[in-house]
Amino acid sequence: MQSVLTSEFLDIVPASIRERLQLKPGLVMEFDEAAPFLKAVPAPLPDGVDFQEWLTKSVGLAKGRLTTDERMLETRGED
């Protein structure tokens, strides 16, 4: 299975892997820089934090601010 990195070094995790590993949007991944290969694992949540509860509370926090396009322009510094 192959995937191509974007110019921003983002990758799309294939659906079969997302499903098998139960990866969800918003999940923080931790990269092992000492591994001789690319190794990423879900970062542990602080004690007592349930991911689904955290995600539910986080949805909509940015409403009324910048649109996604405006945020991307601001982040990339494009004109």
Place of tokens 């991944």: 29
Residue 9 lies in a domain: no
Residue 5 lies in a domain: no
Distance CA 54, CA 42 (A): 15
Residue 45 lies in a domain: yes
Residue 34 lies in a domain: yes
Residue 64 lies in a domain: yes
Residue 6 lies in a domain: no
Residue 10 lies in a domain: no
Q: What is the pLDDT of residue 64?
A: 65
Q: What is the pLDDT of residue 21?
A: 82
31-59 in b/e form (b: 16+ CB < 10 A) is eeeeeeeeeeeeeeeeeeeeeeeeeeeee
Predicted TM-score (pTM) of the model is 0.44
Count up the domains in the chain and report the number.
1
Ranges of the chain with pLDDT below 70:
1, 58, 60-64, 77-79
> 42 — phi, psi (to 5°)?
-60, 130
Residue 68 lies in a domain: yes
Supply the range of the domain harboring residue 43: 15-76
Q: What is the pLDDT of residue 36?
A: 93
